[in-house]
Structure 1
Amino acid sequence: MPFDPHRELSLSLADGTPLSVRSIRPEDRDFIAEAFRRLSPEARYFRFWMRVRELNPRLIDQICSPDQKDHVAWVARHQTREDIPGIGGASFWRLKEDTQAAEVSFTVADEFQGRGVATLLLAVIWQHALTLGITRFVGHVLHENVAMRAWWDALGAMEQEAPRHWITTLILDESLLEHSHAGNSLRVRLAQVREWMNEEKTLKD
């Protein structure tokens, strides 16, 4: 059953921060641009692999125009703080040469890093991907991005070294997740997202 891009998930971080998680929409351009401007130079570099101060308007249009089939994008926002443009986002693009795989990326606001935002977003796009016949996520992680590489490793992703970065492959099979803090946290989030999917199906039946 495909995800309904018009519905939102209400979830909380472990510290109680209330989040609204939904698919990105074209009208999100302004807050996406503002959220990017608030990222630290390091966070921008790790996400785009170059030193940039502003996002190209064409790239913003691409980010905000997912078809939710071959390009999927979700965003997490604070439910009550209008002054925070965005807490995090995750997206994937289906690979043309391998339609059961997709390249995945994450962005988390600096002040919310290390608080489980990426895990929550991974659970959402994981379940979304499975409904589309995608069974593997491929990530590209710069050598300098030690935290991201450690996270993938703790989940049980396979990795291959390239000249400038690591290529990670995560099989979307919960039984293959490591029994680590990262893996167990993801299992909890996956169960929450599946529960939401079942509620959504019940509403439609």
Structure 2
Amino acid sequence: MHFVPASIFAKLSDGSELLLREVTAADRERAIDAFDRLNSGDIAMRFWRDLIDINDELLDRLTSADQINHLAWCALNPERLEDPGYGAGSVWRLKNDPSVGEISLTILPDYQGRGLGIVLFGLLWVLARLLGMQILRANVLNANHRALSWFKRLGGEVHSHGAFYEIDFCLMDNALAASEIPSQVELTRWIHFFQTEFGGES
């Protein structure tokens, strides 16, 4: 079920073009290639454990998105679609509280620091809001100082849980919260709003 365009184009602040599209089961090989390009630190911070390779169970989890209870989008170079892309983001709706979606972002090392994180964050924010979620939640390990600082700068409410932080964003407070199905132009405009409002190095 698609309630928004399955893909849209956007630009980074440096003018680089992005193709943002839904992740599908056909992206399994792309996910494997992307995983192989992550360094050990990125893997540990993203998956909360050391992984040597990516197994079928995890591949299924990452690429089987119904775009309602599990949102998954990737950022690609429109001129090099054979590449694994720049990164991806996901939101999982919590089973015990459907009003909350847990967000995770992964940017490949070669493309970190160019503002890709805020593009994916802004897109997923709007889509989660449209799906009726009221809270977007990021769980960040204590050792992941860069991500923690970034989410704090975006205005998240931080709660400590020992080994990790839970960072909540109230989707209901955002001026861009939409009540109608957005067009590609509107989604692009909202992404630009997040870029202008927050900038960002992620």
- The percent of aligned pairs where both chains have the same amino acid is 31
The answer for the alignment partner of 1:56 in structure 2 is: 55
The answer for the alignment partner of 2:4 in structure 1 is: 4
Three-state SS of the structure 2 residue aligned to 1:115 is coil
Deviation at 1:144, TM superposition (A): 1.1
The answer for the alignment partner of 2:106 in structure 1 is: 107
Q: Is the 8 A contact 1:3 1:128 kept in 2?
A: no
Change (3 A) 1:65 1:34: same
Change (3 A) 1:39 1:95: same
Deviation at 1:16, TM superposition (A): 1.9
Instruction: Give 5+ residue unaligned stretches, structure 1.
Output: 176-186, 201-205
- Separation (CA, whole Å) in 1 of partners of 2:154 and 2:187: 27
| Bigger relative contact order, structure 1 or 2 (CA pairs below 8 A, ≥6 apart) | 2
- Separation (CA, whole Å) in 1 of partners of 2:132 and 2:150: 24
Number of residue pairs the alignment of both structures matches: 182
Q: Is the 8 A contact 1:29 1:64 kept in 2?
A: yes
- Separation (CA, whole Å) in 2 of partners of 1:36 and 1:83: 15
- Separation (CA, whole Å) in 2 of partners of 1:85 and 1:171: 32
Question: Residues 6-60 of structure 1, C-alpha deviation per residue, up to 9 Å, x if partnerless?
Answer: x311111112221100110110100111001101111111100111121111111
The answer for the alignment partner of 1:80 in structure 2 is: 79
The answer for the alignment partner of 2:174 in structure 1 is: 174
Letter in 2 for 1:196: Q
The TM-score normalised by the length of structure 1 is: 0.82
Three-state SS of the structure 2 residue aligned to 1:122 is helix
Q: Is the 8 A contact 1:3 1:197 kept in 2?
A: no
Letter in 1 for 2:76: R
Deviation at 1:76, TM superposition (A): 0.5
- Separation (CA, whole Å) in 1 of partners of 2:187 and 2:14: 25
Q: Is the 8 A contact 2:19 2:78 kept in 1?
A: yes
Instruction: Give 5+ residue unaligned stretches, structure 2.
Output: 189-202
The answer for the alignment partner of 2:155 in structure 1 is: 156
- Separation (CA, whole Å) in 2 of partners of 1:55 and 1:18: 29
Displaced runs of 4+ in structure 1, greater than 4 A? 197-200
- Separation (CA, whole Å) in 1 of partners of 2:82 and 2:64: 24
CA RMSD of aligned residues (A): 2.1
Deviation at 1:81, TM superposition (A): 2.6
Letter in 1 for 2:184: W
The TM-score normalised by the length of structure 2 is: 0.83
- Separation (CA, whole Å) in 1 of partners of 2:21 and 2:152: 27
Change (3 A) 1:28 1:52: same
Is 1:24 aligned to residue 20 of structure 2? no
Q: Is the 8 A contact 2:65 2:72 kept in 1?
A: yes
